[in-house]
Amino acid sequence: MQPWLNHYPPGVPATVDADAYPSLVSLLDEAWHRHASRDASACMGSRLRFRDVDELSHALAAWLQAQGLAKGERVAIMMPNLPQYMVAIGAILRAGCVVVNVNPLYTTRELAHQLKDSGARAIIVLENFAHTLEDAIDQTDVRHVVLASMGDLLGFWKGQFVNFAVRHLKKMVPEFRLPLGDGRTVTRFNMAVAEGTRLPLKPVALGPNDVAFLQYTGGTTGVSKGATLTHRNVVANILQTEAWFKPMFERLGDKPLTVVCALPLYHIFALTICYMFGARLGALNLLLPNPRDLPGLVRTLGEYRVNMFPAVNTLFNALANDASFARLDFSDLVVSNGGGMAVQQATAEKWLQVTGCPVVEGYGLSETSPVATSNRLDVREFTGSIGMPVPSTEIVIRDDDGHDVPFGVPGEICIRGPQVMAGYWNRPDETAKVMTGDGFFRSGDVGIMDERGHIRIVDRKKDMILVSGFNVYPTEIEQVVNLHPGVLECAAIGIPDARTGEAVKLFVVKKDAGLNEDDVAGYCRDNFTAYKRPKIIEFRDELPKSPVGKVLRRELRSAAA
């Protein structure tokens, strides 16, 4: 039974053909050639066309092969959103290798773990982070380092200026000395591309079940694991997303779209929605290397007519409450995609008020490539729902014993579809914990499905707070408290309590400087039953967040302990 199919928007099919392309490379080749004359990226005032991405990635792929990297070998990328990233992904896939996306802010320990766990033989790294690689490389199997700089693809004179400013004025490149010997090589990015233009690219026979990406999870429950995403997984999710968006794009015609790529490309959300889906559409990706620089982000946005804005709640919230952002022209903004974390009602309503464009919330994980559900694009009011399963996707809600629960009853969200990963890299034990015998992926998220197939997330199973035997979900607390006019953002966690087992602790960042503990406590008394009310309220200047903008409850729990 799939009740959501009766509520699909007109023109959205029930299924997609996940085998329409033999590989992701085949899909990208078609997109790059079809949109060759369109701009693929804009960054720091310089642009690359799809033709450029095609040619540069072809050359870099040939260079990678010349270093002896064979089909299936892993190549890591460690840099922020830059044109080099788009080229590097294309090159690694074309060479028949596997992309290992790395957070450039990783510590030495985190980087060493990911490179060692993946067995990466090469890494393409921005020189700003080479000092971290220097400290980690001896613990890894990396033999080839491609060293990129900020200005590599900005044109000669602008590139020289940017590199000088980054290295010598802003002091953003810490001193490093990458060890050579033991068969290791270090090559500058532009040099590798130049050498590759003189080398042949050997065709690699890639099939749908070959691995395209090792997408490492955040490791919130332990050591991070690599979700193994095949070419078929990612192709399927691009086509599923295209099918969901198709009615809207038919209304817009074939005009080139501009997509804000503020989320990091190493994150699965931006990787699929901005890069892959953007290539499919022939869209211009507005690459933002540092979205945390809010004034700089707003200035950049003011220079473009933006059509799509994928983001997480924290970025939507920060921009919607920024006076300079509110003065921009949003007349061409047609969709704001919310994902990565729960979208708060207060944020969604403020964003709609400022931009006139509703936040369309969806849901997914690294393990699902990522899109599993989405709200309809024609819904303008906040629903509190993550929407319905996208085409070719089944979702069931199950209890702890693996039994399907009725509509309206909370349980674990379980997902089956062509976008679901092949498993965790070299972790059959961890894979067995999350994959059921009938092929569903156990998400670890608690949700409720209604009779129409709409799903509402209650919370992560691990974040649930148990107060005197009652379940308290932090997301519910946060959704309500964020509606208080004096609150900018908040987070709730469970803390040990001698009487009730656990109690709720609430962290609050003020929007109104006059807000005090009594104000928040009174508001909570008016809105929550007794066991849900925070026992402790703590004000902070900011909340700890991941590079993507997710609030890190685990860090708040550690601090509270």
Dist CA 222 CA 216 (whole Å): 12
Place of tokens 């971290």: 132
The 3-class secondary structure across 330-353, one letter per residue, is CCCCCEEEECCCCCCHHHHHHHHH
- Residues in Cβ contact with 291 at an 8 Å cutoff, skipping those fewer than 6 apart: 262, 263, 297, 315
Inside any domain, residue 386: yes
Residue at a domain's end among 438, 460, 482:
460
Q: What is the pLDDT of residues 112-163, one digit of tens each?
A: 999 999 999 999 999 999 999 999 999 999 999 999 999 999 999 999 999 9
Is the pLDDT at 221 greater than 60? The verdict is no
Q: Residue 313 — left, alpha, or beta (φ > 0 → left; ψ -120 to 50 → alpha)?
A: alpha
Dist CA 452 CA 334 (whole Å): 26
Same domain, 334 and 362: yes
Question: CA-CA distances (angstroms) from residue 290 to 81, 190, 263, 304?
Answer: 8, 23, 9, 17
The 3-class secondary structure across 388-402, one letter per residue, is EECCCCEEEEECCCC
* Pairwise pLDDT comparison (292 vs 326), residue with the higher score: 326
Dist CA 513 CA 333 (whole Å): 33
- Give the pLDDT band of residue 318 (cuts 50, 70, 90): very high
When divided into structural domains, the chain yields a total of: 3
- Residues in Cβ contact with 249 at an 8 Å cutoff, skipping those fewer than 6 apart: 281
Residue at a domain's end among 189, 206, 223:
206
Same domain, 136 and 171: yes
Mean confidence (pLDDT) of the chain: 94
Same domain, 195 and 260: no
Same domain, 245 and 117: no
Handedness of CA 438, 440, 441, 443 (dihedral sign): negative
Same domain, 191 and 294: no
Same domain, 244 and 392: yes
Q: Which residues constitute the domain of residue 468?
A: 464-560
Dist CA 193 CA 56 (whole Å): 7
Task: Using a pLDDT cut of 90, give the percent of the chain over it.
Answer: 84
Nearest to 238 by CA among 58, 83, 17, 8: 17
Nearest to 123 by CA among 187, 190, 183: 187
Place of tokens 């928040």: 520
Inside any domain, residue 87: yes
- Give the pLDDT band of residue 509 (cuts 50, 70, 90): very high
Inside any domain, residue 358: yes
Task: Give per-residue burial for 182-191: e unless 16+ CB within 10 Å, then b.
Answer: eeeeebebbe
Inside any domain, residue 513: yes
Give pLDDT, residue 146: 98
Inside any domain, residue 30: no
Is the pLDDT at 234 greater than 90? The verdict is yes
Inside any domain, residue 221: no
Same domain, 503 and 438: no
CA 454 centroid distance within chain = 23
Instruction: Report the CATH number at residue 107.
Output: 3.40.50.980
Tell me which of 135-149, 240-254, 279-293, 383-397 is least confident: 240-254
Instruction: Report the CATH number at residue 259.
Output: 3.40.50.12780
Model pTM score: 0.88
Same domain, 180 and 293: no
Nearest to 102 by CA among 221, 273, 267: 267
Same domain, 240 and 358: yes
Inside any domain, residue 553: yes
Q: Which two tokens stand for residue 526?
A: 């008016």
Residue at a domain's end among 433, 460, 487:
460
Give pLDDT, residue 218: 58
Inside any domain, residue 31: no
Same domain, 356 and 333: yes
Q: What is the pLDDT of residues 45-85, one digit of tens each?
A: 999 999 999 999 999 999 999 999 999 999 999 999 999 99
* Continuous segment of H or E residues that includes residue 29: helix 24-34
Instruction: Report the CATH number at residue 488.
Output: 3.30.300.30
Same domain, 493 and 436: no
Same domain, 87 and 166: yes
